[in-house]
Amino acid sequence: MKSIITRYKQNPILNPEDMPFDCFAVYNGGAVKIGNEYILMVRAEDSKRKSHAWVARSSNGVDFTPDPEAVKFVAEDMETYQKYAADSWYDPRINVVEDKYYITYAAAGKHGCRVGLGKTTDFKIVEHVSFPLHVQNRNGVLFPEKIDGMYVLLHRPDVNGGGSMWISRSPDLKYWGDTEVVTPKRSGLWDSIKIGAGTPPIKTDAGWLVIIHAVCGNCAGNYYTMGSVLLDLENPGKMIGRSAGCIMRPEADYEQTGFVPNVIFPTGAILEDDGEVKIYYGAADNYECMATASIEDLIKSCKN
Amino acid sequence: MKSIITRYKQNPILNPEDMPFDCFAVYNGGAVKIGNEYILMVRAEDSKRKSHAWVARSSNGVDFTPDPEAVKFVAEDMETYQKYAADSWYDPRINVVEDKYYITYAAAGKHGCRVGLGKTTDFKIVEHVSFPLHVQNRNGVLFPEKIDGMYVLLHRPDVNGGGSMWISRSPDLKYWGDTEVVTPKRSGLWDSIKIGAGTPPIKTDAGWLVIIHAVCGNCAGNYYTMGSVLLDLENPGKMIGRSAGCIMRPEADYEQTGFVPNVIFPTGAILEDDGEVKIYYGAADNYECMATASIEDLIKSCKN
């Protein structure tokens, strides 16, 4: 389909064989640019299909070198922590909030899956901060600044296999409330089963831009596309606009074939000085990829 | 089976035909005794199968007179409120916290089901306080006092049709955190599918006593029994004991037949001065019933 998004020609930027361990799949990476260094924190599955968070670094945003080891998650009380995150850490996002680096991820343990929230300085060790809300929830991303004195989180609770994008606020990253739907799924459309962040919000004059994933169904199962949402700067619980349709669909070989065919899943976005947005996304739950769009086009996509 | 619990002989204490409207079912009532007045707030379904909260009052704890009208739920921002509670208010609990009356209930709206929390003075109007946590959650009850300066809530998130009893804390009843499992379901036993409050906790020297519901499965579907749990007085996130098995099972006609056969569901408990506990429970998702046990026997049941 026609798209405002251009795939990087040498996609995937990370393949399983690029990783320094028995890697089954590498995808859904959070992204940040610090000075001239690009950092990805990807979901890296081993051949047992256990997910780890793994960092890769680059000087140009496309040629990445993985760290020798997985990210370590630590908590003051590891016994309690592991009740909720012993099984895997997946789909990590890198959130820059007031110059600090927070990792949001899906924490899977024996009681289900929930949003995990940690902080890091070196992207090797993530210190536990909290598990916001309860189980049956994931795809958490933080806004880059406090709004009305509150930290703000987007997340996507699971409701009978579907889910909308919700928002919660917190004075301290530990206690969360004012939880409401910000972008509901809609029956019969491209976002009929699930819609959620996506990338951490990017501040623009027009509003908070969030590149989102959306899921509709077909005879083969779930079909994952990419879309965009614009939220009000002062009250991000108010949606200004959502792309009329998806802005990108699985079309490349590495998106249409792999562990889960027909999945694209954006998890990181870096706004460059020239207005280009590098979008990092997982393809087919198997590969890490990159595509670009202009910030103007992304904003415009939410307004039609 | 042998049980420490004695059914009231004239059960059910409320039948659908006792209610002053086209009542389909009346059950799962929260309970409180204020002075010499017993107050139940029951789940009352109309013939369209929409649930309302309805109050009934009594001077002896068994002969109840329903109010002429359903309880009204009000919020400062009714438009927002109704996104989450327009469809029904069900399984209300009456929680006395530091001499104030809070109603916890399952709020059902177009986005799913979540715990609703309101306050009341007259049991006719419930003013909205908050929706703790997110959707796919219900069976919230509050502890009668703050612990370590925090309000404390038990609740039961749904995980793929099952659920354990969780606990959360809040400084203000609006922002919730420190959310963890306090009583997990256990495979192969009477509480293999779900376990949750139940009645608001009763403070005893031995710990916080919670009369819980538990669900196991059989060929016909879910089977609901009653059990008991004792939580640590100072850290209610720590379970001291749980009844080895269920302490009551559906055996009476009104428990074995009705809208959902084989359900008993405790939602209210009143500790009398002589140590008798009146347990209010729904039967077969159809009738409101009462049974009694001694506080000593209930505590002892958690310790074997």
- The pLDDT tens digits of the residues spanning A108-123 come to 999 999 999 999 999 9
Confidence of residue B301 (pLDDT cuts 50, 70, 90): very high
Q: Say yes or no for a CB contact (<8 Å) between A134 and B137.
A: yes
Q: Say yes or no for a CB contact (<8 Å) between B157 and A136.
A: yes
Pick the closest to residue B268 from B258, B279, B282 (CA basis).
B279
Confidence of residue A252 (pLDDT cuts 50, 70, 90): very high
In the prediction, which pLDDT does A88 show? 83
Minimum Cα–Cα distance from B158: chain A residue: A136
In the prediction, which pLDDT does A86 show? 85
Domains by residue range for chain B, with CATH: 12-301 (2.115.10.20)
Q: What is the mean pLDDT of chain A?
A: 97
Confidence of residue A195 (pLDDT cuts 50, 70, 90): very high
Quick check: B116 pLDDT over 90?
yes
In the prediction, which pLDDT does B48 show? 95
In the prediction, which pLDDT does B304 show? 75
Confidence of residue B210 (pLDDT cuts 50, 70, 90): very high
The 8-class DSSP code of residue A17 comes to: G
Backbone φ/ψ region at A99: left (φ over 0), alpha (ψ -120 to 50), beta: left
In the prediction, which pLDDT does A186 show? 97
- Which residues, other chains included, contact A64 with Cβ-Cβ below 8 Å and sequence gap of 6+? A13, A14, A18, A38, A40, A56, A57, A58, A288
Distance (Å) from the alpha carbon of A259 to chain B's nearest alpha carbon: 23
Q: Say yes or no for a CB contact (<8 Å) between B177 and A180.
A: no
In the prediction, which pLDDT does B237 show? 98
Of B84, B175, B179, Cβ closest to residue A134: B179
Confidence of residue B87 (pLDDT cuts 50, 70, 90): confident
Q: What is the mean pLDDT of chain B?
A: 97
Cite the DSSP H helix spans in chain A: 78-85, 253-256, 295-301
Contacts of A187 in chain B (CB under 8 A): none
Q: What distances in angstroms separate CA A271 from CA A147, A298, B145, one per listed residue? A: 21, 11, 49
Contacts of A170 in chain B (CB under 8 A): 175, 177
pTM of the entire predicted model: 0.96
Helix (H, G, I), strand (E, B) or coil at B267: strand
Segment A96-107 mean pLDDT: 97
Q: What distances in angstroms separate CA A268 from CA A213, A214, A271, one per listed residue? A: 12, 15, 10
Q: Write down the ipTM of this complex.
A: 0.94
In the prediction, which pLDDT does B88 show? 84
Q: Say yes or no for a CB contact (<8 Å) between B157 and A177.
A: no
In the prediction, which pLDDT does A304 show? 75
Q: Say yes or no for a CB contact (<8 Å) between B184 and A137.
A: no
B225-279 pLDDT, tens digit each: 999 999 999 999 999 999 999 999 999 999 999 999 999 999 999 999 999 999 9
Pair B255, B5: CB distance under 8 Å? no
Backbone angles phi and psi of A159, in degrees to 5: -125, 100
What is the maximum span of chain B, computed from C-alpha positions, in angstroms? 50
Confidence of residue B156 (pLDDT cuts 50, 70, 90): very high
Q: Provide the CA B5 distance to its chain's centre, in angstroms.
A: 17
Q: Say yes or no for a CB contact (<8 Å) between B136 and A136.
A: yes
Confidence of residue B86 (pLDDT cuts 50, 70, 90): confident
Share of chain B above pLDDT 90, in %: 99
